[in-house]
Structure 1
Amino acid sequence: MNGDVCADFPLDEMLDMHFNNNSHQSQHQQKQPVLITVMATETTRQQSVHYGCMVVDKETNIIQHYVEKPSTFVSNTVNCGVYLCSPRLFDTIADIHLEILNSNGNGNQQNISRYTTSNNKNNINQQQQQKPVEERVAGAMVIWMEQDVLRRLAGESGSSCSSMSSGGDGSGRIKKGSKCGGVALAATTRNWWSQLKTAGAAIYANRHYLALRQQRQRLLQRESVIDLPLPSPVKCRLATADPKGYSTIGNVYVHPSAQVHPTALLGPNVSVGEGAFIDQGVRIKESIVLQDAVIGQHSLVMHSIIGRRAKVGAWCRVEGSAACSDPNPNVAYAKMTPQLPLFNALDGRLNPSITILGCGVNVESEVVLLNSIVLPYKTLTRSYKNEIIL
């Protein structure tokens, strides 16, 4: 699984498709084992070019064609970066590795073809030829799941699969005829899925994971009448308003070891980590408070991430801007859109984004911090806006 994705993962459905693939191929085709099952989803035509695009047979779920971040529209079915692999896939990866090493006698040729335009490819080829053989071969030691493996497996339906051309032109074009011994399937889901490419995406993911936790909590409550080994309710339960405790709005998660003053108001979409301390009169919304962080009395935290062991003094305002990259709720299958550049081209300041306090940051009392990123172990004695504090 790629480390920058978050989702309501349909793992049960993927396992079922991966192991029960008897009907995935036509009767006239020779039975082929499933080497890999890829989690897929649909997106808009405009956003599809930012992802790996797959052409999928709707009847068999076999991936027929795969292109990583195409320049033009290929398909609105995109790769989610979650894979179920059979052990036999490692044999295929080994064959692909040897093929890249042997291509034109220069392993680095394939890497050039994958990531270089035709305009500057010849210049890079000349530069590579001048390097020692050991250095050139070292560049081929990296195998990419998307560009190398999926692209070859795509279209395998019992006869052949895609492979690297070994022609003298070094074009790296795909041709047919190299046996891969298996197929790749796409498990398309309509569940929530997103990439985490920016800091603001963490707040977006937190919001959805809290909603998923609420759904799971309701499911556990319905299934509690059945004698099943269910998770501990203390660990899986969302925080709720208590007449003798703090107040909450919407979905809020508070770790059992965290201390929250009865006069604090949390939510919506707030996660408070282990050992955190929330003092009296604190207001927190759309934020993440990590382990052992301290929020002083009567402080406001909005659209922010408070790092581990960070301390916010009394009467502070730590606020970021709501993410402008959230998917358009009025467009079907819309995903998060790219945010503004990190810096403003005119004055060099940060464009509006969430506020982040690094590990061990100390914010003195009565400080206002807006749309800023603070690196670890800094002490802030004055207010900042749209800056990175080093």
Structure 2
Amino acid sequence: MLKAVILIGGPQKGTRFRPLSFEVPKPLFPVAGVPMIQHHIEACVQVPGMQEILLIGFYQPDESLMQFLEAAQQEFNLPVRCLYLQEFAPLGTGGGLYHFRDQILAGGPEAFFVLNADVCSDFPLSAMLDVHRRHCHPFLLLGTRANRTQSLNYGCIVENPQTHEVLHYVEKPSTFISDIINCGIYLFSPEALTPLRDVFQRNQQERQLEDSPSSWPGAGTIRLEQDVFSNLAGKGQIYVHITEGIWSQIKSAGSALYASRLYLGQYQITHPERLAKHSPGGPRIRGNVYIHPTAKVAPSAVLGPNVSIGKGVTVGEGVRLRESIVLHGATLQEHTCVLHSIVGWGSTVGRWARVEGTPNDPNPNDPRARMDSESLFKDGKLLPAITILGCRVRIPAEVLILNSIVLPHKELSRSFTNQIIL
């Protein structure tokens, strides 16, 4: 028997995802046509012996989240439950696991997966399970490789190349440690919760010694990376399985657009039925494109590569759409051009308008390159990046919106370049 835990964070964790996270919890943002965490769930249900999937986070009971969970349970015929943390302060990447340890261990699972919601991957869970069953390690981490410079932005793993034991672990080191980085996808044995208990008890003792009531809310904070992995590295308890498959963080709208591209490419193997195909009398399809069945797309539109069109979207005659996500209920009027952009829910782009952004993709000539952590500003100026239209934005005809972020419910009257429109 197996279980899976998906760590979904909370509203305070989605700041880099604004203004898109104003409308839906970040884990439900559509990536390649389906909610972000549906990719995690679909991977988990493919593992033989999976009995339950638990979502742990700080979101208050939310109607959209509850509707998603009900639909997921019906579609996959597997219990999918959300466990809500109500503490005054976040408990870290391990605090939620320890807080809900009884629910995780109920039924006696032989092991449980732990997946961060804000990662994109092909999720080689079965391969990780095979490694676990051969060696029964308490902690098994999924790792991948990054270039030397970008590895400093991640948790870095030094392994024994023969046994794959983690000898040293450093979260975001100041100097180069290793090109093997932590993917935020784990497989734990039940006994892995013992070190989490030890950290919790140590934190409680330290808070009592400080004798400060204001420190109590953080007493349950457990950081898997710093408090557990770093301390147990080199002690025969933590091992790494390195994947050559797709992987990326999803920390911002720009990385969500990149993740959509990766998943659309993966659909050729996992979900070919989700990819649109060119048909007589239909729009011209170039590359990998997802079109929701309820969307209305004019025959003269040209779509792709790497386009995702959501529920109830209207795409007019002569529209050109490339490297973009168009969210539910949006309208692209005749002859608009949308490139490297995200068009928000219910937004309208007028005729002959152009909405364009600048991608921040990994270096295509470096196979180990990863998405950089995007910074919005440099020297007080907005850096070129993808264009984001928030919910129910109206773009007039014949204007250019370039490298800009438009907050929800704005009705523009002219062109904008390199601006945040409040």
TM-score (norm 1): 0.74
Residue 60 (str. 1) matches residue 163 (str. 2): yes
Q: Partners in 2 of 1:332 and 1:359 — Cα distance?
A: 36
Counterpart residue number, 2:232: 153
* C-alpha spacing 1:256/1:34, structure 2 compared with 1 (3 Å): same
Q: What secondary structure, in the 3-state scheme, does the structure 2 residue paired with 1:379 have?
A: coil
Counterpart residue number, 2:412: 380
Residue 342 (str. 1) matches residue 421 (str. 2): no
Compute the displacement of 1:105 (Å). 5.5
Do the aligned partners of 2:340 and 2:387 also contact (CA within 8 Å) in 1?
Answer: yes
Q: What secondary structure, in the 3-state scheme, does the structure 2 residue paired with 1:380 have?
A: coil
RMSD of aligned alpha carbons: 1.9
**Which of 114, 130, 134 pairs up with 2:213?**
134
Q: What secondary structure, in the 3-state scheme, does the structure 2 residue paired with 1:40 have?
A: strand
Do the aligned partners of 2:355 and 2:400 also contact (CA within 8 Å) in 1?
Answer: yes
Do the aligned partners of 2:207 and 2:216 also contact (CA within 8 Å) in 1?
Answer: no
Q: Partners in 2 of 1:375 and 1:274 — Cα distance?
A: 21
Residue 254 (str. 1) matches residue 291 (str. 2): yes
Residue 333 (str. 1) matches residue 368 (str. 2): yes
**Which of 131, 134, 143 pairs up with 1:20?**
134
Q: What secondary structure, in the 3-state scheme, does the structure 1 residue paired with 2:138 have?
A: strand
Counterpart residue number, 2:401: 369
More helix by share: 2
Output the amino acid matched with 1:15. Answer: L
**Which of 85, 88, 102 pairs up with 2:205?**
102
Counterpart residue number, 2:86: none
Q: Partners in 2 of 1:104 and 1:11 — Cα distance?
A: 38
Output the amino acid matched with 2:408. Answer: P
Compute the displacement of 1:86 (Å). 2.4
Larger radius of gyration: 1
Q: Which of structure 1's runs of 4+ aligned residues deviate more than 6 A?
A: none
Q: What secondary structure, in the 3-state scheme, does the structure 1 residue paired with 2:193 have?
A: helix
- Spell out the pairing of 1:283-322 with structure 2 (5 A cutoff): 283-322=320-359
Q: What secondary structure, in the 3-state scheme, does the structure 2 residue paired with 1:305 have?
A: strand
Counterpart residue number, 1:87: 190
User: What is the number of residues matched between the two proteins?
Assistant: 308
Output the amino acid matched with 1:84. Answer: L
Output the amino acid matched with 2:311. Answer: E
Counterpart residue number, 1:126: none
Gaps in structure 2 of 5+ consecutive residues? 1-114
Do the aligned partners of 2:207 and 2:215 also contact (CA within 8 Å) in 1?
Answer: no
Q: Partners in 2 of 1:343 and 1:74 — Cα distance?
A: 29
- Spell out the pairing of 1:82-231 with structure 2 (5 A cutoff): 82-103=185-206, 106=209, 133-157=212-236, 183-217=237-271
**How big is each residue's C-alpha offset from its partner over 1:280-334, in whole Å with a ceiling of 9 and x where there is no partner?**
11110110011111111111111100111111122211111132xx222323422
**How big is each residue's C-alpha offset from its partner over 1:202-248, in whole Å with a ceiling of 9 and x where there is no partner?**
22211111111123356xxxxxxxxxxxxxxxxx3311111211111
Counterpart residue number, 2:310: 273
Compute the displacement of 1:254 (Å). 0.6
Q: Partners in 2 of 1:281 and 1:304 — Cα distance?
A: 18
Q: Partners in 2 of 1:104 and 1:64 — Cα distance?
A: 30
Counterpart residue number, 2:300: 263
Counterpart residue number, 1:231: none
Q: Partners in 2 of 1:380 and 1:264 — Cα distance?
A: 25
Q: What percent of counterpart residues are identical?
A: 47
TM-score (norm 2): 0.69
Q: Partners in 1 of 2:226 and 2:385 — Cα distance?
A: 33
Q: Partners in 1 of 2:266 and 2:196 — Cα distance?
A: 36
Q: Partners in 1 of 2:362 and 2:386 — Cα distance?
A: 17
Gaps in structure 1 of 5+ consecutive residues? 22-32, 107-128, 158-182, 219-235
Q: Partners in 1 of 2:148 and 2:400 — Cα distance?
A: 42
Compute the displacement of 1:266 (Å). 0.5
